[in-house]
Amino acid sequence: MPNILDGKKVSKESEESIKKLVSKIKSEKGFVPTLATILVGDDPASATYVKMKGNACERVGINSLKIELPENTSTEELLDQIKQLNDNEQVSGILLQHPVPSQINERACFNAIDVAKDVDGVTCLGFGNMSMGEDAYGSCTPQGIMRLLDYYKIELEGKNAVVVGRSPILGKPMAMMLLNANATVTICHSKTKNLESIVSNADIVVGAVGIPKFIRSEWIKDDAIVIDAGYHPEKCGDIDLDGVKDRCEAYTPVPGGVGPMTINTLILQTVEACEKLK
């Protein structure tokens, strides 16, 4: 039977550990970790994600500071808000909800976040530190995947890993994390030629391309580790899981696999940042 990598189960267990850590911080330092979230505009999906993150904060006993800015916010106005949060000693971590409206220079705003409060792992400096094996908060989805693989004792060293996707907050950091774990990594994307052939040789397949069922089940070899980091309105991910569930070594269900680990990692890194900052 394939091993189901149950992110929902692991995140619930982790929340219990985080609660204890938060209680320890409160008793020893008299301080409550605080996650500041910035939502620009009124995109319903983004608002839902921010609400889910706020609920997770509440479950483990940390504060959630919600900043909501209008759709017409400028880059300068957003940078000013980020600076205020950087300077706020009560704030342990900062999350700028992606995407922001098109008139905003998103990369400049991400990079303006103090790396010590970059608990979502979005700054170039944080990415560089992580890639070089230095202390950094990893981008939450790939970091959550690595925690899930570690929980289920999935061996990575020497494995041939294929990451399909190259986004700066998922595909690229995922590849670097796997490389740092001594996997041999190939990065592909929607324009890669002979993608089927490349995927068919993979011991580990990570779907992170953002297209529903883009990776066909018949491309994936038997006994592979299948990680689907996508989620779409069609209630499916980036991989056609139906044809591979019964013959792979392990897989992440959609939903309930990668998603819960993303939010849990954000909360964990916020608490860790609080420990370091205070």
- Asked if 97 is an active-site residue, the reply is yes
Answer yes or no: is 70 within a domain.
Answer: yes
Read off the tokens for 185.
């990594």
The predicted pLDDT at position 43 comes to 87
Of 6, 53, 114, 159, the catalytic one is 53
Q: How far apart are CA 156 and CA 185, in angstroms?
A: 11
Read off the tokens for 154.
């999935």
Could you state, in chain order, the average pLDDT of each consecutive group of 10 residues for the chain (278 residues)?
A: 91 97 92 96 90 95 96 98 97 96 97 98 97 96 98 98 97 98 97 97 97 96 97 92 94 96 97 88
Pair 149, 109 in one domain: no
User: What CATH number does residue 59 fall under?
Assistant: 3.40.50.10860
Of 6, 114, 118, 120, the catalytic one is 120
- SS3 of residue 78 by DSSP: helix
The predicted pLDDT at position 45 comes to 86
Answer yes or no: is 205 within a domain.
Answer: yes
State how many domains the chain has.
Answer: 2
The predicted pLDDT at position 95 comes to 97
Answer yes or no: is 194 within a domain.
Answer: yes
Beta bridge partners of 16: none
The predicted pLDDT at position 278 comes to 65
Answer yes or no: is 104 within a domain.
Answer: yes
Pair 172, 233 in one domain: yes
Q: Which structural domain range is residue 175 located in?
A: 140-259
Is the N-terminal amide bond of 255 cis, ω within 30° of 0? yes
Question: CA 133 from chain center: how many Å?
Answer: 18
User: For residues 45 and 89, is the Cβ–Cβ distance under 8 A?
Assistant: no
Pair 110, 190 in one domain: no
Query: Inter-axis angle of helices 171-180 and 124-131, to 10 degrees?
Result: 20
